[in-house]
């Protein structure tokens, strides 16, 4: 089963028809039908490792200031307590708690899945990003998910490698600042050659501007861990920028 990191960017991509949303649709159409989808979303960034384990996860509208039509979006995919148990077992001795009622599917998940799997008829689970752990932990946890791919589970990371909301310039449209290009290019070189070395990006001179907070960056690290476990580099699904300080670059593994 393939895996992917999808740069989700502006929540309005949920309602858009553009190069990015079409690439997500093509990705969904190009993979074998998964038994379930496990998403590592930038928007479940907490001080613990947890997985949604409810039968019917709610659609979470975790944003403000957007049009009513975006708040009206629902993604009624089922969950799977049984597959949540499988994930928790697969990553042992690392611990992942079972969340039966506190979370659901946030927009990092449904903004891309409404395009990739619009029927919402495949079980979807979210894996939290533990804010208290170093990058090596996330790389190791990503690698520990590798057996799930052989069991028909599609692993998806959703975030943005370059994500600086404080420097957004909507006047730039689909252009990126020079530092955003430099960092995104450095990430591409690592991920398409030696994804297991992703921690070296923390030493890049543009890292602090490109990644002022790690929440949107770390979902990519899970895919790098999967790639390292598979002994394969990643492939670029689509690249580009939004508002100067967001990279929309997406990657796939084994597609």
Domain coordinates of the chain in residue numbers?
A: 3-253
Taking the C-alpha atoms of residue 92 and residue 77, their distance in angstroms, rounded to an integer, is 27
Is residue 199 within 8 Å of residue 176, measured between CB atoms? no
**Phi-psi category of 219—alpha, beta or left, where left has phi over 0 and alpha has psi -120 to 50?**
alpha
Distance CA 145, CA 156 (A): 11
Cβ-proximal residues to 64 (8 Å cutoff; 6+ apart), any chain? none
pLDDT digits (tens, 9 = 90+) for 177-210: 999 999 999 999 999 999 999 999 999 999 999 9
Distance CA 208, CA 95 (A): 30
Residue 68: count of CB within 10 angstroms of its CB: 6
What fold is seen in the domain 3-253? Protocatechuate 4,5-dioxygenase; Chain B (3.40.830)
H or E segment and range at residue 69: helix 68-71
Using only the alpha carbons of the chain, give its radius of gyration: 17
pLDDT for 67 equals 86
Residue with tokens 């969950």: 79
pLDDT digits (tens, 9 = 90+) for 53-77: 999 999 999 887 888 999 999 999 9
Which of 119, 109, 112, 155 minimizes the C-alpha distance to 22?
A: 112
Ranges of the chain whose pLDDT falls below 50: none
Between CA 45 and CA 91 the distance in angstroms is: 19
State the burial class of residue 101 (Cβ atoms within 10 Å of its Cβ: 0-12, 13-18, 19+): exposed
For tokens 């590592």, the residue is 40
pTM to 2 decimals? 0.96
pLDDT of residue 242: 96
Q: What value, to the nearest 5°, has the Cα angle with vertex 37 and ends 36 and 39? A: 150
**13 forms bridges with which residues in the sheet?**
none
């Amino acid at each position: 089963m393939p895996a992917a990191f999808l740069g989700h960017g502006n929540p309005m991509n949920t309602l858009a028809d553009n190069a990015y949303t079409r690439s997500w649709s093509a990705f969904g159409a190009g993979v074998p039908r998964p038994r379930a989808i496990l998403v590592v979303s930038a928007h479940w960034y907490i001080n613990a490792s947890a997985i949604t384990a409810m039968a019917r996860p709610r659609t979470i509208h975790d944003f403000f200031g957007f049009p009513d039509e975006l708040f009206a979006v629902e993604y009624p995919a089922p969950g799977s307590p049984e597959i949540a148990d499988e994930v928790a077992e697969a990553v042992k001795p690392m611990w992942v708690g079972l969340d039966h009622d506190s979370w659901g599917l946030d927009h990092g998940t449904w903004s891309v899945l409404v395009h990739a799997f619009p029927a919402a008829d495949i079980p979807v689970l979210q894996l939290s990003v533990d804010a208290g752990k170093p990058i090596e932990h996330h790389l190791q946890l990503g690698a520990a998910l590798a057996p799930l791919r052989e069991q028909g589970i599609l692993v998806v990371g959703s975030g943005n490698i370059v994500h600086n909301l404080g420097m957004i310039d909507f006047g730039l449209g689909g252009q990126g600042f020079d530092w955003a290009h430099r960092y995104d290019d450095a990430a591409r070189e690592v991920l398409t050659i030696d994804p297991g070395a992703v921690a070296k990006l923390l030493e890049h001179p543009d890292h602090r501007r490109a990644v002022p907070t790690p929440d949107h960056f770390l979902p990519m690290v899970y895919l790098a861990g999967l790639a390292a476990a598979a002994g394969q580099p990643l492939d670029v699904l689509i690249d580009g920028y939004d508002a100067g300080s967001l990279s929309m670059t997406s990657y796939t593994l084994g597609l």
